[in-house]
Copies of this chain bind each other. A is one copy, B any other.
Amino acid sequence: FRKTIDQKKPCKHFSFYFHDILYDGDNVANATSAAIVSPPGLGNFKFGKFVIFDGPITMDKNYLSKPVARAQGFYFYDMKMDFNSWFSYTLVFNSTEHKGTLNIMGADLMMEPTRDLSVVGGTGDFFMARGIATFVTDLFQGAKYFRVKMDIKLYECY
């Protein structure tokens, strides 16, 4: 059946920042992610580098601010000629305001100013939710740290 959804009117909308601090062997206390393989050498843009993360989600740009959620999952780099990556992860909300998760996957087309991934499901407060997660790179410090602005727009809410 064909239902229509007004893209400009999500039933829920969040906007916050995801922080990733890559483990470098010495920064156990601060690190939020770690590469589990070294890239196989296809091109010069980390093709195949696979990173698992459990990073904070904050309302402002400071990674030390109190997190409103956590993002748990993985990303890997997947392009020969430029930086490009792919994500699959869960937003875990565990606060008085929200309790539940959102499951997200898709291509992070890093050379695009904004790029959309799919919210493929939700649990708890976000039971059976679906929608779009829009990524915007906010800060990228090579292999050390990056910050992505995530706009989560749910179009199916129950």
Contacts and interface: CB of A to CB of B under 8 A. Distances in A.
B53 A42 contact: no
30 contacts: A2-B157, A5-B128, A7-B127, A7-B158, A34-B40, A36-B37, A36-B40, A36-B76, A37-B37, A47-B52, A47-B54, A50-B50, A52-B76, A52-B78, A54-B79, A54-B80, A73-B107, A74-B76, A74-B78, A86-B89, A92-B107, A101-B107, A103-B120, A105-B120, A105-B121, A117-B123, A120-B121, A127-B132, A128-B132, A128-B155
A88 interface: yes
Contact of A48 (B1, B3, B36, B123): B36
A155 B128 CA distance: 8
Contacts of A50: 36, 50, 52
Contacts of A19: none
A99 to B, nearest CB: 11
Given A34-B48, A158-B3, A78 B54 contact: yes
Nearest to A92: B107
Interface in A47-84: 47-48, 50, 52-54, 72-74, 76, 78-80, 84
A143 interface: no
